[in-house]
């Protein structure tokens, strides 16, 4: 059918072009009679129904015209011995065919697209162009628990699911029912999909996966149809795991917005019906994954018997994840993964994998043969903070300001007390910044004390204080520092209860895993007081930084000079310069 449709389209297009390619000159009736009288007309063709005339001049060119009296024109032409032909009236069937044929071709082409698969690739599962799947390949994943790291507690819970698949009778004896659904919640990149694949791989059961957005179709009812087909296939391949990634795309709470969405609600209703339609002992477990559990429909949440939290890994978990991915590369003897783990707080497993891969690429480009300690840290800095812009042209005044700015951060971090140690400081631009000071926390901080946050505020203000005292200037350089300081101070006042004037209350509420502030509800008077408290904290931090810089000016100048000479200093080089420079 595809070949027929294509051939018809080609013929119609060719015919249209062939018709339009002939140049036909339009003339009026007076010009036509004058040409007949002069003998320049070679032949005429008259259509009595439309009173249109076409013909050919003696030079071979074509013309067309229209006249009021066809018989008079015919007599004038015959008088000059000009051949005249009369066009027969067209068949009414031809008009009907010309009207119906394009519509029929269009309908046939659309039906063909609906039925035609996109191809045999692994990603489409035999879907057609609207994503309405036909055949879904049954898969048993190869991933194992050895590929999952950084979430030992969640893995322990997952092993119970595998035990159910292997020995369901053990649970049936005591009347235990296997869970019908499990909800994996956590920030993006924490390995929710990998864990689910590992569960299926360890149990050796079929694995069906589909993103929640794939159920939201163009036409109402198609999403519900896809849900039915997915579960029909699952029931034919028991035991199995059905994994719905980003389930919040289809499972958002009904009535949460003023806009209705019949297709999504029908799909959600069908999903609820399917999960309720089988018992826990049938060998089907539905696993959903989301990073926004707070927006899910309560009825959907009730269907999930278990909720497994997958938070960002701690320092031990990050090191384990790095070791899993490092199995595929060659590390030098000085490559310390534990140090990289400490330098990457709040990093997901996905980012850690990218760091290892980027380190391998850096080692290959530099022909190192193995991944060195420097390769790992350079990769981490690139993934977390952006690409170094070594070739950016900067005038001497900007370089001097950048050197004193970063030296100011370093000196304040060294002497404020309670701040994290400095790992590296550089004046090479990276991302939007003109330089950077990298800290190395000795351990993960699960509890943030007020003293630690005040120290962080002072470090943020160190660059501005150094520019003020040494260069006697204020610039746009500290803009990002002020933003970070305002964020920390706002968190102290609005979320952590660290302001005596505001009290032990929480005024800002954040998304559970995405971290964005979702609401800030208070009276105008309280909001004004909050702003005053944030300003007080940042002003006091700036005064603290100014005090340290005034006392430690010699160390500041020494660090700035070294940065201008070497561009980048390690934490060890910073300690050496400070220790060898008197106050």
Known binding residue 192? Answer is yes
Residue 144, annotated as binding a ligand? no
Of the candidates 416, 450, 331, 434, the one whose C-alpha atom is nearest the C-alpha of residue 379 is 331
Determine whether the annotation assigns residue 189 to a binding site.
yes
Q: 3-state DSSP helix/strand/coil percent for the chain, to nearest 5?
A: 50, 15, 35
DSSP assignment string, 212-278: GGGGS-SSTTHHHHHHHHHHHHHHTT-SEEEEEETTHHHHBPTTSSSS--HHHHHHHHHHHHHHHTS
Give the Cα separation of 7 and 440 in Å (integer): 68
Element (H, E) at 350: helix 349-365
Cα–Cα distance between 552 and 557 in angstroms, integer? Answer: 9
Q: Is 467 one of the catalytic residues?
A: no
Omega of the bond leading into 239 within 30 degrees of 0 (cis) = yes
Q: What is the dihedral of CA 398, 543, 346, 152, to 10 degrees?
A: 150
Is residue 191 within 8 A of residue 349, CB to CB? The reply is yes
- Phi then psi for 413, rounded to 5 degrees? -60, -30
**Was 409 annotated as part of a binding site?**
yes
Burial class (CB in 10 A: 0-12, 13-18, 19+), 111: exposed
330 near 292, Cβ under 8 Å? Answer: no
Catalytic residue among 74, 263, 406, 533: 406
Q: Is 193 annotated as a binding residue?
A: yes
Closest to 443 (Cα-Cα) out of 310, 350, 351, 319: 319
Separation CA 409–CA 537 (nearest Å): 18
92 annotated among ligand-binding-site residues? no
Exposure string over 375-407, b if 16+ CB within 10 A, otherwise e: bbbbbbbbbbeeebeeeeeeeeebbbbbbbbbb
Q: Which two tokens stand for residue 562?
A: 């070294």
Residue 229 half-sphere exposure toward CB, CA atoms < 13 A: 19
Asked if residue 349 belongs to a known ligand binding site, the reply is no
| DSSP symbols for 361-407 | HHHHHTT-SSB-HHHHHHHHHHHHH--B-TT----HHHHHHHHHHHH
- In 3D space, the residue among 523, 541, 395 whose CA is nearest the CA of residue 478 turns out to be 541
Ligand-binding annotation for 486, yes or no, is no
Torsion angle, alpha carbons of 536, 540, 545, 550, to 10: 130
Q: How many helices (H) and strands (E) does the chain have?
A: 21, 15
Report whether 58 contacts 42 (CB < 8 A): yes
261 belongs to an annotated ligand binding site: no
Binding-site positions for Zn(2+) read: 405, 409, 481
Binding-site positions for ATP read: 186-193
Binding-site positions read: 186-193, 405, 409, 481
Which residues are known catalytic residues?
406
């Amino acid at each position: 059918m595809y070949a027929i449709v294509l051939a018809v389209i080609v013929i119609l297009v060719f015919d249209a072009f062939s018709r339009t390619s002939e140049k036909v000159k339009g003339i009026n009736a007076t010009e036509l009679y004058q040409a007949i009288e002069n003998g320049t007309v070679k032949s005429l063709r008259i259509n009595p129904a439309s009173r249109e005339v076409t013909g050919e001049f003696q030079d071979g060119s074509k013309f067309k015209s229209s006249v009021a009296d066809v018989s008079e024109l015919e007599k004038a032409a015959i008088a000059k011995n000009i051949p005249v032909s009369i066009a027969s009236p067209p068949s009414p069937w031809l008009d009907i065919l010309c009207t119906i044929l394009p519509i029929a071709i269009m309908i046939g082409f659309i039906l063909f697209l609906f039925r035609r698969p996109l191809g045999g690739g692994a990603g489409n599962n035999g879907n057609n162009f609207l994503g309405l799947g036909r055949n879904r390949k049954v898969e048993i994943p190869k991933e194992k628990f050895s590929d999952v790291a950084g979430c030992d507690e969640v893995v322990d819970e997952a092993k119970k699911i595998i035990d159910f698949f292997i020995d369901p009778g053990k649970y049936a004896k005591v009347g235990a029912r296997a869970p019908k659904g499990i909800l994996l919640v956590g920030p993006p990149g924490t390995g929710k999909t990998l864990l689910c694949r590992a569960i299926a791989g360890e149990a050796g059961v079929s694995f069906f996966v589909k993103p929640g957005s794939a159920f939201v179709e163009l036409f109402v009812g198609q999403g519900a149809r896809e849900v039915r087909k997915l579960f029909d296939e699952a029931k034919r391949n028991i035991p199995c795991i059905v994994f719905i990634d980003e389930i919040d795309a289809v499972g958002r709470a009904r009535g949460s917005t003023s806009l209705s969405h019949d297709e999504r609600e029908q799909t959600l209703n069908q999903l609820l019906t399917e999960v309720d339609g089988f018992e826990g002992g049938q060998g089907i477990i539905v696993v959903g994954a989301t990073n926004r559990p707070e927006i899910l429909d309560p009825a959907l949440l009730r269907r999930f018997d278990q909720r497994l939290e997958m938070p960002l890994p701690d320092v031990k978990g990050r090191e384990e994840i790095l070791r899993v991915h490092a199995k595929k590369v060659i590390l030098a003897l000085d490559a310390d993964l534990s140090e990289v783990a400490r330098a990457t707080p709040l990093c997901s497993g996905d980012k850690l994998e990218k760091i290892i891969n980027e380190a391998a690429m850096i080692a290959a480009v530099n022909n190192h043969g193995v991944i060195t300690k420097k390769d790992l840290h350079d990769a981490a800095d690139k993934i977390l903070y952006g690409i170094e812009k070594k070739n950016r042209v900067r005038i001497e005044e900007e370089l001097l300001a950048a050197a004193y700015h970063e030296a100011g951060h370093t000196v304040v971090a060294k002497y404020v007390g309670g701040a994290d140690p400095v790992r590296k400081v550089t004046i090479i631009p990276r991302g939007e910044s003109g330089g950077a000071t990298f800290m190395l926390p000795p351990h993960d901080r699960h509890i943030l004390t007020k003293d630690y946050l005040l120290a962080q505020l002072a470090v943020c203000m160190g660059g501005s204080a150094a520019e003020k005292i040494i260069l006697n200037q204020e610039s746009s350089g500290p803009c990002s520092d002020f933003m970070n300081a305002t964020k920390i101070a706002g968190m102290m006042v609005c979320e952590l209860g660290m302001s005596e004037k505001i009290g032990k209350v929480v005024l800002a509420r954040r998304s559970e895993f995405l971290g964005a502030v979702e609401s800030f509800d208070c009276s105008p008077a309280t909001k004004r007081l909050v702003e005053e408290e944030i300003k007080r904290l940042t002003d006091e931090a700036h005064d603290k930084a100014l005090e340290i810089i005034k006392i430690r000016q010699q160390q500041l100048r020494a660090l700035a000079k070294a940065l201008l000479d070497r561009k980048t200093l390690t934490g060890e080089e910073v300690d050496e310069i400070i220790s060898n420079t008197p106050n």
